[in-house]
Amino acid sequence: MNVNWLCGLLSAYRRKQSASEIGVVHCRADSSVCNVSPLSKLGCPKGNCEDFLWVSILWLSWFISVVMGFLGTNASVLYDLNLLLQLVLLVVLLLGFRLGRIKSEGSLKLHRRLMRILVVLNAVAILFVMGPSLLANVGAALGETSFIGFPLTLTHHTIGLAAEILGVVLAFRKFGNVRLWMRVTFILWLIALVLGIGFYVRYYVVLS
């Protein structure tokens, strides 16, 4: 598992720290004052609550990115969770598609709510899982001797990003022929999902 992107962020963060004592920081929600505890070495300068939260997120991200997953493949738990999330989002997408075809006032209202939840959750997955994974592993994909790896990676991320952008726009602001663009987004989302499953199988099952 390549976590160089995370290590780079943590190293950059540490370089800007002062030489003050490092420890666990306990923050009060109603104050910017933090107390340093010598219980462990987390990498947080005393007196800065934001730094504590930032490093905590980094450490948590690193932990779940290296712990082996639960699906019996070579993927970490982070990518297993993302795969399950995408399958759940597929169910939500199909349900939303069905509700949109009913066209009653209640079904259309529920359709809009589901689509907004879907695009927000997928945006989180892109920002914190798929995007960093692409940046960290694009070099390895380019260096593959196979003609499958890089085209699969690039096509999956390109189509997935296009589907997400269209989904966000349609969920929060309509434009043009809404029905046509919804169908286009639906098709792109399905293609991206199939390619994403192919990406998972190739790198965490076939090549493991």
Q: Let me know whether 29 and 87 are in one domain.
A: no
The tens digit of pLDDT for each residue in 78-104 reads 899 999 999 999 999 999 999 988 989
Q: Give the chain's domain count.
A: 2
SS3 call for 77:
helix
Residue 156 in domain: yes
Is there a contact between 62 and 76 (Cβ–Cβ < 8 Å)? Answer: no
Q: Among residues 194, 79, 203, which one has the least CA distance to residue 150?
A: 203
Rounded mean pLDDT, 172-179: 85
Q: What's the rounded Cα separation, in Å, for the pair 39 and 7?
A: 23
Do 82 and 62 share a domain, yes or no? no
CA dihedral sign of residues 179, 184, 187, 190:
negative
Residues 17 and 52 in one domain: yes
Domain enclosing residue 141, as ranges:
77-206
Residue 55 lies in a domain: yes
Does some domain include residue 60?
yes
Q: What integer best gives the mean pLDDT of the chain?
A: 77
For 110, counting Cβ atoms within 10 Å of its Cβ (0-12 exposed, 13-18 middle, 19+ buried), the class is middle
Residues 183 and 148 in one domain: yes
Neighbours of 13 (CB within 10 A): 16
